[in-house]
Amino acid sequence: MSMDILFTYAAALSLLIGALFVLVGAIGLLKFNDPMTRMHAPTKVGTVGIGMLLLSSILKALAGGDPSLHELLIMAFLFVTAPVSAHFIAKVIIHQRACETPPAPPRDATWSTLHEGETETRG
């Protein structure tokens, strides 16, 4: 079995796994009711699914003899920006009070930005 065929089968398997992860993320986005739980489906499962789809593209390019680093750059950008955007979305949901009340923060100013009307003096 040549390496081209092996890369093609690996790309097909990666494509199927990625499509399954993206499908699960889309179903989770539609089925979950709470905004905080809805956020997890596309950010967690979708990131892995798109990563697998990009891996499939890398493997197919290797099988065709035309490797490229563009997919690796897209993956790096995706894996860096998805958690940050999920964090910002969660902050907005908390500040809008669109979810269950978060647990009480500790009595210091390092927990979060959710300090409504509180002013602390440092001395």
pLDDT tens across the length of the chain (123 residues): 688 888 889 999 999 999 999 898 888 888 888 877 888 777 878 788 888 999 999 988 888 888 888 888 998 998 888 888 888 888 888 888 777 766 666 666 655 555 555 555 554
Q: Which residues contact 40 (CB under 8 A, 6 or more apart)?
A: 28, 32, 86
In one-letter notation, the amino acid at residue 86 is A
Of residues 7, 19, 93, 82, the one with CA closest to residue 52: 19
- What is the value of pTM for the model shown? 0.69
Residue 63: what pLDDT? 83
What is the Cα–Cα distance from 104 to 50, expressed in whole angstroms?
Answer: 36
Q: What is the DSSP letter of 97?
A: T
